[in-house]
Amino acid sequence: MITFRDIKDHYRFSEPEVETLRHLLPRVEPPVGQITDDFYIF
């Protein structure tokens, strides 16, 4: 299974970028199913 650390290392996210993603999590986690569905339909 790919971990967040694997993704972070692969894309070379900086610590400020990681912190931004952590702050976004509460806003995107509830509708994640709809977000991914919309992404793949587009």
**C-alpha–C-alpha distance, residues 31 and 3, integer Å:** 21
pLDDT over 70, % of the chain? 100
Residue 13 neighbours by CB under 8 Å, 6+ apart:
7, 21
**C-alpha–C-alpha distance, residues 23 and 6, integer Å:** 19
At 21-31, the pLDDT tens digits run 899 888 888 88
Kindly state the tokens that stand for 41: 């339909």
The pTM assigned to this predicted structure is 0.56
For the cut 80, the answer to whether the pLDDT of residue 1 exceeds it is yes
Mean per-residue pLDDT for 5-22?
A: 91
For the cut 90, the answer to whether the pLDDT of residue 36 exceeds it is no
Alpha helices in 1-42 (DSSP H): 4-11, 15-28, 32-41
For the cut 80, the answer to whether the pLDDT of residue 42 exceeds it is no
